[in-house]
């Protein structure tokens, strides 16, 4: 009996991806935005999420070009399904599901509340935060429970377009809490705030764990097939070990500017 090592099996999968990928690959355009370290014009491969999406599509014979916009426009323009086929990366919401098809998840991230050191933030459920001033980003979903509590006025949420300005509002005391993914918040603090301000901030326990997806416009011709191609390509790069390598590279800071 011939025993094939795990490393050889992964090499075979990688070679099969390269051999089976058509040379006349289809090219699609996807809207993107600034959300370092996962998506950014200034990062290698445009950040981890962009890299995963590009490689998954590439494994199924599809090349990707990115167009960077403010997040609200990235979603609106992609919904039309004309120049743009899709947008990355977003959590699930019933509202977005009206206009978009969802791929398999690109990855899963934990969200936390950033706040000033020394401030006691004691909560067991989101409604316990009703007495805090919370910052938020326009068009960003913080989960169905958060959205419902915001709509009904239980949570006091003030939304603006820019993540960095939300952190500055946090430092100045104009808001008490700012929810975002842990890695994103830490990256913003490191890159956008001076050390004396960065040292003032910390974060809470996770309040949710979320899957992030590629959203393909329902109006885009062949959208269902595009979702299938992405899902198949994602499975291939996971099997080959490329997916895990990219995740490890992100943890090691290899995508940074």
Q: Which residues pair with 86 in a beta bridge?
A: 30, 216
Residue 8 confidence (pLDDT) above 60: no
Angle between helices 242-251 and 48-58 (to 10 degrees): 170
Whether residue 215 sits in one domain with residue 103: yes
End-to-end CA distance of the chain: 49
Q: Give pLDDT, residue 146.
A: 94
Cβ atoms within 10 A of the Cβ of 195, count?
9
What pLDDT, on the 0 to 100 scale, is given for residue 257?
Answer: 79
Residue-level pLDDT at 248:
93
Q: What is the mean pLDDT of residues 166-171?
A: 95
124 and 42, same domain (yes or no):
no
Residue 62 and residue 51 share a domain? yes
CB count within 10 Å of CB 197 equals: 15
Q: How far apart are CA 52 and CA 45, in angstroms?
A: 9
226 & 104 share domain: yes
Q: At what angle do helices 223-240 and 242-251 cross, to 10 degrees?
A: 80
Of the pLDDT bands very low, low, confident and very high (cuts 50, 70, 90), residue 7 is: low
pLDDT of residue 56: 98
59 and 12 inside one domain: yes
- Whether 20 and 100 share a structural domain: yes
What's the mean pLDDT in 22-49? 90
Strands 107-116 and 178-181: antiparallel
CA distance 138 to 88: 16
Which CATH number fits the domain that encloses residue 129? 3.40.190.10
Does residue 256 lie in a domain region?
no
- One domain for residues 162 and 40: no
Q: Is residue 9 very low, low, confident or very high in pLDDT (cuts 50, 70, 90)?
A: low
By residue range, what is the domain housing residue 32? Answer: 6-108+211-251
pLDDT at position 143 is 85
- For residues 12 and 104, state if they share a domain: yes
pTM of structure: 0.77
pLDDT of residue 122 exceeding 50, the answer is: yes
Looking at the structure, tell me whether residues 102 and 227 fall in a common domain: yes
Does residue 1 belong to any structural domain of this protein?
Answer: no
pLDDT at 2: 42
Q: What pLDDT shows up at residue 163?
A: 86
Average pLDDT over residues 149-167: 94
E strands within 138-226?
A: 156-160, 178-181, 201-203, 208-217
The answer to whether 134 and 111 are in contact (CB under 8 A) is no
> 207-228 burial by CB neighbour count: b if 16+ within 10 A, else e?
bbebebbbbbbeebeebeebbe
Sign of CA dihedral 72, 73, 78, 84: negative
Give the residue-averaged pLDDT of 53-66. 98
Residue-wise pLDDT for 175-195, tens only, equals: 999 999 999 999 999 999 999
Say what the pLDDT of residue 89 is. 96
Residue 151 is assigned to a structural domain of this protein:
yes
Q: How many domains is the chain partitioned into structurally?
A: 2
């Amino acid at each position: 009996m011939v025993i094939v090592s795990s490393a050889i099996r992964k090499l075979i999968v990688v070679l099969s991806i390269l051999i089976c990928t058509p040379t006349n690959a289809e090219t699609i355009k996807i809207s993107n935005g600034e959300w370092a370290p996962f998506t950014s014009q200034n990062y290698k491969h445009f950040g981890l999420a962009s890299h995963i999406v590009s490689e998954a599509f590439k494994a199924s014979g599809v090349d990707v070009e990115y167009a960077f916009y403010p997040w609200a426009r990235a979603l609106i323009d992609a919904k039309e399904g004309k120049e743009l086929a899709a947008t990355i990366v977003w959590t699930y919401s019933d509202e977005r599901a009206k206009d978009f098809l969802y791929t398999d998840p690109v990855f899963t991230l934990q969200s936390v509340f950033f706040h000033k050191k020394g401030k006691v933030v004691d909560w067991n459920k989101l409604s316990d935060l009703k007495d805090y001033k919370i910052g938020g980003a326009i068009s960003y979903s913080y989960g169905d429970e958060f959205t419902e509590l915001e709509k009904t006025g239980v949570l006091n949420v003030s939304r603006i377009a820019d993540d960095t300005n939300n952190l500055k509002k946090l430092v100045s005391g104009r808001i008490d809490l700012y929810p975002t993914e842990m890695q994103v918040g830490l990256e913003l603090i490191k890159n956008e705030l001076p050390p004396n301000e960065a040292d003032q901030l910390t974060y809470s326990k996770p309040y949710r764990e979320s899957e992030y997806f590629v959203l393909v416009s329902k109006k885009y011709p062949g959208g269902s097939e595009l979702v299938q191609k992405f899902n198949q390509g994602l499975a291939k790069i996971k099997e080959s070990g490329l997916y895990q390598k990219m995740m490890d590279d992100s943890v090691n800071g290899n995508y940074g500017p």
